[in-house]
């Protein structure tokens, strides 16, 4: 019998750039007050869960590392930073608002909105991001066979990895909403059969997920 590994993919808590709808990519700063509260709520939830995490991995970007530190501390663990779990690189888009991107990069913006896998701002494509994320998840699953592991990453990175498992191309990713800040996606990995998506964007620790979704601005 093959040992099944559970991978809990967690988006970092909210940042000021998230709230302002600024493209962060591999730039940006740490959590804002709401993001710290979100991380604290998830940490409390995980500390009381029956499923115990044996390790917590995270992107080395500040917002993910700060979220992971709060979660790992509640579980008596030390987070392990892995640059392969970073958000997609957005090159010259990084630090710009949506309005700024539309004005400065209208062709790239239009192609991206159509679902074309464009190299935004000279950064990464979704295909490259998916390759990077799956290599990281494969490596983590191989180290922790039969265990449960937390993986703190980023919205596009998590969505792209899940899309790869669901055999979606870049255009198909448009049907998946970016996970909420500190939203959880649970994967199972079996060496003989690969990955299975068990839970998508569980943010019950933040309150009424349906009401939150209905009140959120369109992506």
pLDDT one-digit tens code per residue, 155-171: 999 999 999 999 998 88
Q: What pLDDT, on the 0 to 100 scale, is given for residue 129?
A: 97
161 contacts: CB under 8 Å, gap ≥ 6:
9, 130, 133, 134, 137
144 is catalytic: no
210 contacts: CB under 8 Å, gap ≥ 6:
none
Known binding residue 104? Answer is no
Among 12, 144, 154, 189, the active-site one is: 12
Known binding residue 113? Answer is yes
Q: What pLDDT, on the 0 to 100 scale, is given for residue 171?
A: 81
Q: What pLDDT, on the 0 to 100 scale, is given for residue 190?
A: 95
Known binding residue 60? Answer is no
Distance, CA of 97 to CA of 180 (rounded, Å): 19
Q: What pLDDT, on the 0 to 100 scale, is given for residue 182?
A: 97
Residue with tokens 């690189």: 89
Distance, CA of 201 to CA of 180 (rounded, Å): 7
Among 69, 87, 108, 124, the active-site one is: 87
In the chain, where the domains are located: 5-88+124-215
12 is catalytic: yes
| Six token digits for residue 192 | 């003989």
Q: What pLDDT, on the 0 to 100 scale, is given for residue 41?
A: 95
- State which residues of the chain have pLDDT below 70: 1-2, 208-219
Q: What pLDDT, on the 0 to 100 scale, is given for residue 215?
A: 67
Which class is 5-88+124-215 in CATH?
Answer: alpha beta
Q: What pLDDT, on the 0 to 100 scale, is given for residue 175?
A: 87
pTM above 0.75, yes or no: yes
Q: What pLDDT, on the 0 to 100 scale, is given for residue 130?
A: 96
Residue with tokens 């933040």: 206
Q: What pLDDT, on the 0 to 100 scale, is given for residue 166?
A: 95
Distance, CA of 145 to CA of 130 (rounded, Å): 22
């Amino acid at each position: 019998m093959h040992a099944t590994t559970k991978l809990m993919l967690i988006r970092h808590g909210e940042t000021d750039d998230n709230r302002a709808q600024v493209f962060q990519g591999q730039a940006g700063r740490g959590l804002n007050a709401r993001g710290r509260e979100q991380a604290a709520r998830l940490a409390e939830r995980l500390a009381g869960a029956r499923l115990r995490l044996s390790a917590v991995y995270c992107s080395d970007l500040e917002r993910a590392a700060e979220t992971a530190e709060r979660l790992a501390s509640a579980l008596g663990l030390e987070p392990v930073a892995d640059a392969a779990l970073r958000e997609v690189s957005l090159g010259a888009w990084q630090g710009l608002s949506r309005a700024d991107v539309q004005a400065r990069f209208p062709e790239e913006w239009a192609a991206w909105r159509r679902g074309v896998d464009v190299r935004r701002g000279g950064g990464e494509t979704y295909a490259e991001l998916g390759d990077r994320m799956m290599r990281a998840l494969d490596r983590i699953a191989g180290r922790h066979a039969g265990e449960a592991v937390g993986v703190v990453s980023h919205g596009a990175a998590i969505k792209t990895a899940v899309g790869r498992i669901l055999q979606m191309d870049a255009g198909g990713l448009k049907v998946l909403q970016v996970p909420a800040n500190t939203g959880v996606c649970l994967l199972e990995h079996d060496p003989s059969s690969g990955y299975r998506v068990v839970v998508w964007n569980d943010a019950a620790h933040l309150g009424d997920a349906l009401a939150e979704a209905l009140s959120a601005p369109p992506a």
